[in-house]
Amino acid sequence: MRKTIIIAGAAGEGINTVELYVEKLLKQEGYEIYAYKNYMSRVRGGYNYSTITIGQERVYSTESHADIFIALNAEAVENASAQIKADGTLIALSGLKSKHDFEGKIIWVDEEELKNITKNKNAFGMVAVGMIIKWFGGEESILEKINNKKWSDSINSANKACAKWGYEQMESVHMPARADEERIILNGNQAVALGALSAGLGFYCAYPMAPSTGIMNYLAAQEKKMNIVVEQAEDEIAAAMSAIGSASNGVRSMTGTSGGGFALMVESIGFAAVSEVPIVICNVQRPGPATGLPTRTEQADLAFVVTASQGEFARIVMAPRTVSDAYYSTFRAFNLAEKYQVPVIILSDQLLADSVQSIDRVDTSSLKIQRHLKEDFDPKYKRYDFENISGNRKYPGLDSQTLIMTDSHVHDEYGKVTESEEMTIALKNKFLNRIEAIKKELSAPEFYGSENYDTLFLSWGSTYGALREAVDELNSRGNEVAMISFTDVFPIRENVLEPFIRPDVRVINVEGNAMNQFGKILRMETGVKFSHSINRYDGRPFTSAFIAEAYEVIKND
C-alpha cells in the first residue's frame, strides 16, 4: 500500500519546509519515501508543488495525483481537481472555499481559530504537517521533533503548537509502516556530493546553474569539516579549467553544471583528454536548448556529451539510476578517472537531483580509493608512455626529481610538443586502446522483470524507477515484460545486449527525450534495433502510469 501527498502553492509559502518535516517524521516512523519537486524558475510566486509518495514497501518513482492535496493558496485550490484522486482529500484554509471545484472530500481549516495560535501567515503549512502525521497514525509526541536551529524559540514553539492543533483536527487512517530498518533519506545532488567526498574529493569548483547547484551548496556546507576547497568561479569555463588545474597537480577534483554550462566546458574536456588529466564532471540535465526550462527534467544531453570536444579520445559517461546509485557511481567515477586518466562525466538530471528517496545506509566497507600512482622514482619514467593505458601516473611534486609537463598539443611520451606522424599515430592508438580497455571494465545493465518476457524495455539513468514500477504493474495484469537499465552508458560493448535479445522479443526503448538518443547509440554500437519507443519531453518526469498506458497502446496497435 502507498499514498501520495501533494503540497502546492507559491515559492516562499513554505512548501519545502512542509515537505522536509513530512519526510523526516514519516521516515522515522519506518515508512519508505520518494519525493519530487515541481517548481518554476522563480524566487517568489509561481505555482509550485512537492509530491511525496509514502509506502510500506520501497518506492521508486513519483505519481501525478494525490491522495492528500494540501493547498497553500488560492491557485493551488483551483488546481486541486486536476491533481487529486477521485477518492482523495483536499486540505485548505476556510477562506478559500469559493475557489474550489473539487467534488470529493474537503477539510477546511478555520482561519480564525488558527490566528488565535499564531499570526504567521505561513503557519498553515505546519498545521498540515500535524494533520499528515495523524492521518498516518503517528504519535502526537513525534511533533516535538519539529525544531530548527535557524528559527527563534518563539517560532519553534508556534510551529509545534500549529502542528499539534492540526493533529487534533485530523482523523487517523493508519497505514502500517514496514519493518524498522536503518534507512536514510537523500536527494540525488546530495548523493553525488557524498560519493565525491567518500572518494577523497579535495577541490570542487563550479558556477551556479540549476539544477546542479545543490551539489555545490552541500559541499560548501562541509568545506571546513571535510578539509576541502569549494570555489564559485566566474563562469563554467573557469570552473572546468580550475578543476583540471587542481587535478593535474594531484588533487581529486570535480565540477558540476547543467547543459548550458557543459557547452562552455567542451574545450576544457578536450584539454583534459589530451593532457591525460583525470577529472569528474557532473552534468545535471534540464530541458534545452539554451535556457530552456531551467527547473524541469529531461534526458536530452546524452548525444552531445558522448561526442563533446573535437577529435577522438576516451571518456566515460555514467547516468545514475537512483539516489543510491548516484553515491556509488560518483565514488567509482573518481577511481576510473584516475586509473585511465580520462574525463568521467556523471549524467544526472533534475528528476534525480531534486528527488528525495529513502535508501539503505551507504556501505563504505566495500569501497577503496584507488589512486593508481607511481610514487617511486624512475630515471626512465615516461609520463605519457604510449604502451601504458592505465595507472603509472605522476603529478608535479610527487617525487622531487621527476619533471612533469602538461600541454594541450599532441606530445611525445615525455610531454614534449611534437608534430611527428609516428608520435601522432601512437598517441591516437593509445586513446583508442584505452576505450577498448574501459569497455571491458564498465558495469553491465541491470535486468528486472519476468524471466519469460516477450517484451523488453531498454532504459538508462533516472527512468529506472518509473519503468521498474511499470514492469511490476504490467506483469500483475498478466503480461510478460522485463527491463534492462544502464548506468554505464558510454562506451558500450558490442555484445552487451546479447544475453537479453531474442528474435521473438519486442524491444521498446524508453527515454526522456524525443530522439531516442541512447537507443541510437545502442544501435550504432551493438546493431540492436528497437521496434517501438516511449518518450517524454515535456519537462516532466516519467511515471509508471505514463509508461504502462503507452505500452498498452503499443501492444494493441
User: Contact 343/253 with Cβ under 8 angstroms?
Assistant: no
Fold of 446-556: Rossmann fold (3.40.50)
Give the total residue count for the chain. 557
Is the pLDDT at 353 greater than 70? The verdict is: yes
Instruction: Give the pLDDT band (50/70/90) at residue 179.
Output: low
Domain 185-366 indexed as CATH 3.40.50.970:
yes
3-state class (DSSP) for residue 273:
helix
Angle in degrees, CA 299, 300, 302, rounded to 5: 90
User: Contact 66/21 with Cβ under 8 angstroms?
Assistant: no
Is the pLDDT at 472 greater than 80? The verdict is: yes
For the residues 164-171, what does the mean pLDDT come to?
Answer: 92
Q: pLDDT value at position 181? A: 67
How far is residue 389's CA from residue 305's CA, in Å, rounded to a whole number? 22
386-401 burial by CB neighbour count: b if 16+ within 10 A, else e?
bebbbebbbbeebeee
Q: pLDDT value at position 37? A: 95
3-state class (DSSP) for residue 483:
strand
Tell me which residue has cell 482529500: 89
User: Contact 358/32 with Cβ under 8 angstroms?
Assistant: yes
How far is residue 279's CA from residue 390's CA, in Å, rounded to a whole number? 15
Phi, psi of 85 (to 5 degrees): -70, 155
Q: Report the Cα 220 to chain-centroid distance in Å.
A: 19
pLDDT tens by residue, 243-284? 999 999 999 999 999 999 999 999 999 999 999 999 999 999
One fold for 2-169 and 185-366? no
Q: pLDDT value at position 153? A: 86
Identify the CA nearest to 176 among candidates 336, 24, 54.
Answer: 54
Is the pLDDT at 35 greater than 70? The verdict is: yes
Q: How many CA atoms lie within 13 A of 261 on its CB side?
A: 28
Q: What is the mean pLDDT of the chain?
A: 95
Which of 3.40.920.10, 3.10.20.30, 3.40.50.2000, 3.40.50.300 would CATH assign to domain 2-169?
Answer: 3.40.920.10
Q: pLDDT > 70: what percent of the chain?
A: 99
pLDDT tens by residue, 49-84? 999 999 999 999 999 999 999 999 999 999 999 999
Q: pLDDT value at position 180? A: 60
CA dihedral (219, 225, 226, 227) in degrees, to 10, reads: 110
DSSP letter string, 502-534: -TT-EEEEEESSSS-HHHHHHHHHH----SEEE
3-state class (DSSP) for residue 337:
helix
Identify the CA nearest to 349 among candidates 287, 304, 263, 292.
Answer: 287
List the grid coordinates of 404: 612533469
Q: pLDDT value at position 148? A: 85
Is the pLDDT at 100 greater than 80? The verdict is: yes
Is the pLDDT at 476 greater than 90? The verdict is: yes
DSSP letter string, 125-171: HHHHHHHHHHHTT--GGGGGG---TTS-HHHHHHHHHHHHHHHHHS-
Domain ranges of the chain: 2-169, 185-366, 446-556
Instruction: Give the pLDDT band (50/70/90) at residue 509.
Output: very high
